[in-house]
A and B are shown apart, each in its own frame.
Chain A
Amino acid sequence: MIRFETGDTDLQGILSQYQQGSPEREFLRRLADSSYVYVYSSPEELQFETRLRRHIINASLALYRGRMAFRIFQESRCNEDYWIRRPDGGFELRPDARPSEAVGDIFTNTRLYATECATAVMMIYYKAILDSYGPDLFDRTFDRIILMNWQDMDELINVTTHRNLPDYFPGDCRYVKNPDVDPITPEWQGENIIDLGDGSYFGHGIGIGNVDFFIRALNRNRIEGSDVSAYLMDSATRPDFRGLYRYWKNAS
């Protein structure tokens, strides 16, 4: 269930803003139906998180439609007008590039970019925050961006992996683990997938489908003779929605 520190109780008013079947509505329904109490400082904070989760889903779909190629770190690539490719395969924002344009470029010139699944999730997060903050605030906030797996991320985004959660929501990043991956192809050791809110997920390099779709893809790359299946881990990785909201509210 949802509780506001302001004492507000009008959840229907918030729900009515979103269409039936939309990811926003699904998020709010799962929150409201949960036996766990989710506390928000205000309806505005809840709406901010709802909007940001929607932007995460939109950015995932944009990356999918843009057909960004999957490449392991050793052969990642980027548009060097905006990004510097580092020796470890990550991308660093050029000092003279405008952050909002650089992040936007990933989603407009998508074919100039190629990376693995965790870095793709970081790209999705930055795009979602750009869409939530707007370019001016985004540029003021993120003057140094590194896209490299989960490492070196901005402290404000503060991406955290939560384990054994009571509920999972649209916009969550989940992980499908392949414990018996074939050592010949270790890149199939697992897949980060974004919950799209309708029972389907986006995993960069594999596509869009339900959890079984990803499990089947990983199972095809197990060590010979293994009967240990890939599985969805009981964890979710999320940006710090509350911290991002507070920063946005103070800056607005």
Chain B
Amino acid sequence: MTGAPVSLLDNIRISNGPESLKNYFTDLYHTERSRLLELLNDRHLRFYTLFLLKAGIYAYRLQDDLIPMYKWALMISDRLSELLPGKPPEPISDRPHGRKKTGAPAGRAALRRAGIRKMLRSDTDVLSAALKWIVETGWDPDIPEGSYELFLERCTSILLGEFRDRSVLPVLADIIFDRHRKGLLVHNLVWAFFKARDQDSLYLLVQKLQSENVMDVRLAKKLLRFIPGIENSDNSSGPALYYRAVQWLSENMPYLYFTDESMHMCGCPIFCRVSAGEGSE
């Protein structure tokens, strides 16, 4: 969270917790419905707050009164949730190899995926804006691990992979480093970051070499280990490392390519390489 304006509903959630938020929502619905709609449509509202109120919004049939972006955001969460864990697993005997990468059996999962794909083609402008809003405001310090976290990862993946929206990369870089500081899972987000194949975004990682937080520097060194001398540079100060990395990137950018390696593949992935015969040390 930054110094951005905070909506009243977000403020209640952050200050008093999700249960207080839900109670406030219910009370306001019964006493001042129009005020509730005004608060729900606040342009500074964060997705996590809307997500927490989803059941109430549906119960009181308020979804059609939401601005299109918020309405679509809820719809996306509904559709993607069908592919997420939490559905009853199919019996093991029906899975000769034990595969259950999603919450649904292969046949039904394929149908659901086709449904999601159809949705992705429907109203792309509002949809991509909704996805971007989810990614930019859905990650909060107090989100629960599990299916909500997974949902956010998928939205990030779709926004970058399907809509090629690179503008979210600075936010994504901050989310990755913030989660890493807390010891939370970052593998899938790192994968999505590099999958975007955006050379300019590498400078976002380079900036973290100057961070005062030792965890940030450690992760930045890992992600940038393709830059010679960066990973094992214990004695270099932040600014010196930063300038070395910036200089190397500017010299080698034309020859740099993304390797497809990931933290799933190995412990020391090399995310980029310089084309053979090109580049500098």
Expressed in whole angstroms, the minimum distance between the Cβ of A146 and any Cβ of chain B is 12
The answer to the question of A172 belonging to the interface, with a C-beta cut-off of 8 Å to chain B, is no
Cβ-defined contact, B161 with A223, below 8 A: yes
Cβ-defined contact, B101 with A70, below 8 A: yes
Which of the 9-residue segments B45-53, B144-152, B199-207 touches chain A?
A: B144-152
Which single residue of chain A is at the shortest CB-CB distance from B268?
Answer: A161
Cβ-defined contact, A184 with B100, below 8 A: no
Cβ-defined contact, A183 with B162, below 8 A: yes
Cβ-defined contact, A161 with B101, below 8 A: no
The answer to the question of A153 belonging to the interface, with a C-beta cut-off of 8 Å to chain B, is yes
Which single residue of chain A is at the shortest CB-CB distance from B144?
Answer: A74
Question: Could you say which of B100, B187, B266 contacts A69, with CB atoms under 8 Å apart?
Answer: B100
Docked Cα-Cα span, A187 to B157, in Å, equals: 11
Contacts of B171 in A (CB 8 A): none
The answer to the question of A136 belonging to the interface, with a C-beta cut-off of 8 Å to chain B, is no
Which one of B147, B182, B260, B266 has the greatest number of beta carbons of chain A within 10 Å? Answer: B266
Interface positions of A from 190 to 240, Cβ below 8 Å from B: 190, 192, 204-208, 223-224, 233, 235, 237
Which one of B147, B161, B188, B264 has the greatest number of beta carbons of chain A within 10 Å? Answer: B264
Cβ-defined contact, B260 with A179, below 8 A: yes
Question: Could you say which of B101, B262, B269 contacts A72, with CB atoms under 8 Å apart?
Answer: B101
Cβ-defined contact, B266 with A187, below 8 A: no
Question: Could you say which of A86, A175, A204 contacts B265, with CB atoms under 8 Å apart?
Answer: A175
Cβ-defined contact, B267 with A153, below 8 A: yes
Tell whether A150 pairs with B267 under 8 Å between CB atoms, given A75-B85, A184-B83, A184-B158.
yes
The answer to the question of A2 belonging to the interface, with a C-beta cut-off of 8 Å to chain B, is no
Contacts of A105 in B (CB 8 A): none
The answer to the question of B96 belonging to the interface, with a C-beta cut-off of 8 Å to chain A, is yes
Docked Cα-Cα span, A149 to B268, in Å, equals: 11
Kindly count the residue-residue contacts between A and B in the assembled complex, taking CB atoms under 8 Å apart.
129
Cβ-defined contact, A118 with B264, below 8 A: yes
The answer to the question of A109 belonging to the interface, with a C-beta cut-off of 8 Å to chain B, is no
Question: Could you say which of B117, B162, B267 contacts A159, with CB atoms under 8 Å apart?
Answer: B267
Cβ-defined contact, B113 with A186, below 8 A: no
The answer to the question of A20 belonging to the interface, with a C-beta cut-off of 8 Å to chain B, is no
Cβ-defined contact, A189 with B98, below 8 A: no
Cβ-defined contact, B98 with A184, below 8 A: no
Contacts of B157 in A (CB 8 A): 183-184, 186
Contacts of A204 in B (CB 8 A): 98
Tell whether A188 pairs with B184 under 8 Å between CB atoms, given A116-B264, A159-B267, A183-B161.
no
Question: Could you say which of B92, B150, B187, B188 contacts A67, with CB atoms under 8 Å apart?
Answer: B92
Residue-by-residue, is B125-136 near A (CB-CB < 8 Å gives 1, otherwise 0)? 000000000000
Docked Cα-Cα span, A34 to B117, in Å, equals: 48
Contacts of B183 in A (CB 8 A): 86-88
Interface positions of B from 58 to 117, Cβ below 8 Å from A: 80, 83, 85, 89, 92, 96-102, 109, 113, 116-117
Contacts of A153 in B (CB 8 A): 267
Question: Could you say which of A86, A161, A233 contacts B267, with CB atoms under 8 Å apart?
Answer: A161
Contact size range, B? 35 or more
Contacts of A117 in B (CB 8 A): 264
Cβ-defined contact, B184 with A74, below 8 A: no
Question: Could you say which of B92, B99, B147, B192 contacts A186, with CB atoms under 8 Å apart?
Answer: B192
Contacts of B265 in A (CB 8 A): 118, 161, 175, 177, 190, 192, 233, 235, 237
Expressed in whole angstroms, the minimum distance between the Cβ of A145 and any Cβ of chain B is 15
Expressed in whole angstroms, the minimum distance between the Cβ of B57 and any Cβ of chain A is 24
Cβ-defined contact, B97 with A206, below 8 A: yes
The answer to the question of B263 belonging to the interface, with a C-beta cut-off of 8 Å to chain A, is yes
Tell whether A205 pairs with B101 under 8 Å between CB atoms, given A74-B85, A150-B267.
yes
Contacts of B240 in A (CB 8 A): none
Docked Cα-Cα span, A23 to B20, in Å, equals: 62
Cβ-defined contact, B154 with A184, below 8 A: yes
Residue-by-residue, is A164-187 near B (CB-CB < 8 Å gives 1, otherwise 0)? 000000000001010100111111
Expressed in whole angstroms, the minimum distance between the Cβ of B190 and any Cβ of chain A is 11
Binding site for A on B (CB under 8 A): 80, 83, 85, 89, 92, 96-102, 109, 113, 116-117, 145-147, 149-150, 153-154, 157-158, 160-162, 182-185, 187-188, 191-192, 260, 262-269
**Pairs A-B, 6 closest by C-beta atoms:** A207-B97, A183-B161, A150-B267, A161-B266, A183-B157, A88-B185
Binding site for B on A (CB under 8 A): 64, 67-75, 86-89, 116-118, 149-151, 153, 159-161, 175, 177, 179, 182-190, 192, 204-208, 223-224, 233, 235, 237
